[in-house]
Structure formats: C-alpha cells, structure tokens
Chain A
C-alpha cells in the first residue's frame, strides 16, 4: 500500500515540479547559448544576456523555495483539508500516509538539488564572456573534489556520512513543518496561525537545546573526555564522529516528530 501511496503522491506533486525544473533547465540552456554568441558590440544582446543571467539565478532560489512551500502545502491540503476525506478513508495506516509524504518531500528536495547541479553544469560549459568566471570555477571545483577523493579514498566514508546527514537534516526540517501543521489542525479555528506559532516554538526549543549541548561541551570534564577520545582518533575518524553526533540528533528528532504526527492522525484526527 505504501508504494501505491507514493505513486499517487508523486503523480499529484509532479505536476508542479515538472514545469519548475523545465524553467530552470531552459534558462540555464539559454544562458549557455547566449554565452556562446559573440555580443561584445551589441548592447541589446548584452542586456538580454544580463537579464537571462539574473533570471537564471533567481529561478534557482525560487526552485528551492517552491520545493519547500509546495511539499508543506501538499501535506496540509492532502491530509487535513478536503482531500483528507479520501486519504484518511483509504485502507492504510497513518504511519504509511506519513512515510509517503516524507519520502516524496525528500525525493523532490533531492531532485531539486540534482536539477540545480545539472543546470549549473550546463551553465558552466565554457563560453565566450571572459568576465564571467564563476562558471569555470564550478567545473574546476568539481574536478578538484573528485581528484581529492581519488587520492584519499578514506574520505569516501566521510562523504557518504555527510550525504546521509544532509538527507536526515532535510527530513528533520520537513517533519518540523509537518508536526507544526498537525498540531495546528487540532484546534478548531486559526489552524495556520497556531501552526506558525508551534513552528516558532519548535525553533526556539531546538536553539535552546543546542545551546545547552554547546554549554555542556564547555565543561572541563567533558572537554577532557572529548580530548582523550579525539587523541586516539585520526582526522577521518574525528570527522565521522562529529557527523555521527549530528546525524544522531536529527534521527532522534525525526523519531519524536514522526510519533507526534502519527498519534495525532491516529487518535486525534479532526477533519471538519
């Protein structure tokens, strides 16, 4: 049933993401084409190039913003508004509904990252304008990173752990929004305002929690312990340990948020 839900959710959301990705890729292609046309003496062409360049950069920001907004809106509309009458009467568990939303949110975020990367690669194809340097720098950066990995294969583990931590971080943020909206749905009026207030509350709580953790790390005994452990570790192991701690924090709160959402949908659903 989960695979059917995911399929349904992808179909519903794909209609919005497809055109967005097409616009970003089309602008990067247009940018590259204009970058290949000699237009030093043509003011209209130069102006067009500058406009396309600006639009392309804007489209990249807009794509990430839209990804976040659309995933959050889809979660709310699909589970707590009219469409919820269908979703919550399907023979599936609330946990399956939740997993489906988490998976599609995560996949679309990663897809947006992939589209941004591909579009940057397209835009970085060597052109004529010598004053635009960042494109070549992007290619050079990618090349250097790959070379470094080939020289030091032990960093592949760090890279994989970093990717895992980024994905967990994305799911953590996604669930923070979902939980806020689920809690907001519990009240009879002003769902959205309550959801925003809950979200602000969560952010403050996490800031305080991270502050406490950072204060704890300043305590002499803790510092001594960390130093003793660090002493026995090499650079790679130390990076893995740090990433592991961040990952554990994300995983813990993914679990907490998942349970809150699941309990609300299972025991306190309030579709009116």
Chain B
C-alpha cells in the first residue's frame, strides 16, 4: 500500500516569507504522528497544504498517491485550529452537513458521542462554550471513517479535562489503517499517544523518527527533547 502522505522537495513561499522549504516526508498508514515545532515553524502550512487549502510553490505532495483535490478530500478529515463552522447552526444541522457531503461520515458514532457529552441536537454553536465548541468540531471530524486525520492544534486553548477528552476521542475513534497527524506545541499532553514525531523548524524538517526510538536514544521524554532542541 502507498504511504498515506508523501512530500518531496515541498516548498511554500508567501510574499517575502518562506513558510516551508524542501520538506521531504513519508508517513505510513496506521500511525499517530506528532507534528511538533514552535510557533511559525510551518506546522499549519503543511497541514493546510495536505488538506488542499494551499497550493505548493514547488515540490510534490501526495495523499494516498494522489495530488490534493476532490478525491483526497474524500479521505482526509481536517480540523482547523480555529472556529470554522457557521455560528447559527445547531448540532443537528452540522451533523446533516457532514453526512450530506462526506460519504464516510458515521452518523451513529457522532450521535453517540454527542449524547455522552450531553450536547443537545438543538443547541446552537453560538450558545456553546469554547470547550464544547472544540469538542463539537472534534466530534464531527472524528466521526468520519477517514484515512488521514489532520488535526491542527486540537488541544490549544482548552482546559486539561477537555484536553483529556479530546485525546481519548482521537485514540478511540480512528481505525487501525488510518493515520492521525496532530500539530501542537503542547507536547507533554500528546506525547503518550504518539507513534512518530516530526520536528519542524523554520519550515524545514529537523527530525522524523518513531517516538519510542527518540526516547530510548536520548534517554528522555519527547517533551524534554523538544525543549532542548528549540531552546531560545
């Protein structure tokens, strides 16, 4: 089977700024990958390129062997780092939109998660608290039986209890063959669930290694390695 994500010489330039330069990556299926780096290191840019929201300046990017487009959007489930759903919609409307557009959306899974969280189908997004909104967005994204989940800062700005809920939801809702890429700088919180880590610095891949190997080799946690590598 082809790797779920492959980048070769990938670059993304904005006017007067290089966001990604010469990124070469191969991510296999069935992995939970931490995309780690300080602010402005290119994590969100890489995720947006993978989800088709940006186009590469140069280089090749393929998702399951295909260039980003309509076909890859059918198998990629993306969670942006900020609010992206219409405020006026209620939970039921959002479920309908996702089930209308995504063939892999599992309505029963979504309903089950909503029920366990006590979110009413009639509650509108604008009336939900920040944490509940984050959970709602995550429920929608993780209720898809996607092949690649791209989660951009899923635990940023929420309380520790919500963080635990989000991480548990991620672990318990992706299939064995699916890959989850989590971008974050809150490494201590996600470290326990990661199979692989990718360190990004100033748009370049500094390190791509299995998390256990890094811990064994360096004799410390991923969080400690990160702090050492990115020390100011």
* Chain A interface residues (CB < 8 Å from chain B): 1, 4, 7-8, 11-12, 15, 82-86, 88-93, 187-188, 267-271
Contacts and interface: CB of A to CB of B under 8 A. Distances in A.
Looking at chain A's contact residues, is the secondary structure mostly helix, strand, loop, or mixed?
Answer: loop
B101 A267 contact: no
Nearest to A4: B100
A89 B55 contact: no
B52 interface: yes
Nearest to B104: A91
Most buried by A among B15, B48, B71, B83: B48
A269 B12 CA distance: 12
Interface of B: 14-15, 48, 51-55, 70-71, 73-74, 76, 78, 80, 82-86, 88, 93, 97, 100-102
B145 to A, nearest CB: 14
B54 A269 contact: yes
B51 A89 contact: yes
Given A11-B93, A15-B88, A89-B78, 16 more contacts: A4-B101, A7-B100, A82-B83, A83-B84, A85-B80, A86-B85, A88-B52, A88-B53, A89-B73, A90-B73, A91-B74, A91-B102, A187-B15, A188-B15, A267-B55, A269-B54
A88 B93 CA distance: 19
A271 to B, nearest CB: 5
Contacts of A188: 14-15
B53 A90 contact: no
Contacts of A270: 54
Contact of A90 (B83, B93, B101): B101
A190 to B, nearest CB: 13
Nearest to B82: A82
Nearest to B74: A91
B55 A269 contact: yes
Contacts of B84: 82-86
A192 B39 CA distance: 27
A89 B97 CA distance: 13
A269 B14 contact: no
9 contacts: A4-B101, A82-B82, A82-B84, A84-B53, A84-B84, A89-B52, A91-B70, A91-B101, A269-B52
Contact of B73 (A85, A91, A267): A91
A90 B71 CA distance: 10
A269 B49 CA distance: 10
Nearest to A8: B97
A15 B55 CA distance: 34
Contacts of A89: 51-53, 73, 76, 78
Ranked nearest first, the 8 interchain pairs of A and B with the lowest CB-CB distance are A85-B84, A91-B73, A85-B80, A91-B74, A90-B101, A271-B53, A82-B84, A89-B78
Nearest to A96: B70
Nearest to A271: B53
B86 to A, nearest CB: 6
Contacts of A7: 100
Nearest to B16: A188
A92 B101 contact: yes
A78 B101 CA distance: 16
A177 to B, nearest CB: 21
A4 to B, nearest CB: 5
A92 B70 contact: yes
B99 to A, nearest CB: 10
A1 B101 CA distance: 7
A89 B70 CA distance: 8
B49 to A, nearest CB: 11
A91 B63 CA distance: 14
A204 B83 CA distance: 39
Contacts of B85: 83, 86
A96 to B, nearest CB: 9
A187 B15 CA distance: 9
B103 to A, nearest CB: 8
Contacts of B100: 4, 7-8
Given A85-B80, A89-B78, A91-B101, A268 B73 contact: no
A221 B217 CA distance: 87
A11 B86 CA distance: 11
Contacts of A82: 82-84
